[in-house]
Amino acid sequence: MRSLALFILLVPAAARAEDEPAKTDEPPATAPAASGAPVSSGERVTMPAKRGMLNAQLGINLSTDLVGKPISLSPDIWYGVSDKLTIGLVHTFVGATGIMGIPGTSLCLTGADNGCGDFYNFAGIDARYTLKSDAKLQIALDAGLFMTALDPFQLALKVGITGRYRASKSVALEFSPNIFFGITERDGELMAGGNKEVVAVPVNIVFSLNDKLALLAQLALLMPFENAGDLYALGLSLGGNYAISKQLSLSLAFSLPFLVTGIEDAGGVDARTLTLGGGYAF
């Protein structure tokens, strides 16, 4: 699908540029969940009933010869319909797929000549329903309907799970495997704009240093069903989150989205991004 190919297309662009001149007594998890879930929800992967969270991310491309191309400012808003069901209006790539460090989604600020397609090019309605919730393990069903491109108009259905496992007082594992199924505009290959199936498998390790500061490392696989061996990408992100208060938090992440990839001449550190984020609970 073309929108999820934002992730894949960053690298070919870089290559071309190079060729041309539940409440527990354990500390709250303040790092962003792999699923992009609310940062103030503690061990939960869904919001408490009648509670909300606004997340916003400023994404900046730092790739070789493409610094600032694109830059995006993307908001997500989540609301707990009940203690088990959370719904969200999602614009960030991490909120949709769980994968950190991909700029260029709505709202894309730098224009068509600087890495953006349309200004408003990506949005979805996401729903998460808790399947298991205890002090050690949280798992939720995660499904949504996403506009993955505006022109031509592409829709995709997302199906997956999101979860969090508390390994110790200071260490947690987060996971959010999901698949996007293209619904409209399926003709053509992925790199040519075809809206095809893509699987995302992000895994986070979170280290809580204290009740305010947490560090995290993410490994994430993004891979289309079609030509998987040629177009897969394995990325690495390193980041952290600081809880200013019970309501407000800040986050920072540096990402190498194509550390290992099947795309020719695209692996390594030439593709890199910086993400600045903030969360407000209400």
Nearest residue to 192 via CA among 222, 224, 220, 147:
224
Distance between CA 9 and CA 103 in Å, rounded?
Answer: 12
Query: Which residues have a Cβ under 8 Å from the Cβ of 60 and sit 6 or more positions away?
Result: 67, 68, 71, 103, 273, 274, 275, 276
Choose the weakest-confidence range: 5-14, 46-55, 76-85, 86-95: 5-14
User: pLDDT of 62-103, one tens digit each?
Assistant: 999 999 999 999 999 999 999 999 999 999 999 999 999 999
For range 8-19, the mean pLDDT: 43
User: Two tokens at 250?
Assistant: 């800040």
For range 204-209, the mean pLDDT: 96
Highest mean pLDDT among 29-38, 123-132, 183-192, 257-266: 123-132
pLDDT of residue 31: 39
Choose the weakest-confidence range: 11-20, 57-66, 135-144: 11-20
Instruction: Place 193 in a pLDDT band, splitting at 50, 70 and 90.
Output: low
User: pLDDT of 229-243, one tens digit each?
Assistant: 988 999 999 999 999
- In terms of Cβ atoms closer than 10 Å to its own Cβ (0-12, 13-18, 19+), residue 133 is middle
Residue type, 89: L
List residues bridging with 79 in a β-sheet.
Answer: 52, 87
Provide the pairing of β-strand 198-208 with 171-175.
antiparallel
Neighbouring CB atoms inside 10 A of 125's CB total 14
pLDDT of residue 192: 56
* Structural domains in the chain, sorted by start: 5-281 (2.40.160.40)
User: pLDDT of 173-189, one tens digit each?
Assistant: 999 999 999 999 887 66
Instruction: Place 226 in a pLDDT band, splitting at 50, 70 and 90.
Output: confident
CA distances from 114 to 16, 70, 190 (A): 14, 6, 21
Query: Which residues have a Cβ under 8 Å from the Cβ of 12 and sit 6 or more positions away?
Result: 191, 263, 266
Nearest residue to 272 via CA among 67, 118, 77, 126:
67
For range 114-126, the mean pLDDT: 92
Contact at 8 Å (CB) between 110 and 116? yes
Phi/psi zone of residue 227: left (φ > 0), alpha (ψ -120 to 50 degrees), beta?
A: left
User: pLDDT of 212-221, one tens digit each?
Assistant: 999 999 999 9
Instruction: Place 263 in a pLDDT band, splitting at 50, 70 and 90.
Output: confident
DSSP string for residues in 187-204: -S-GGGT----EEEEEEE
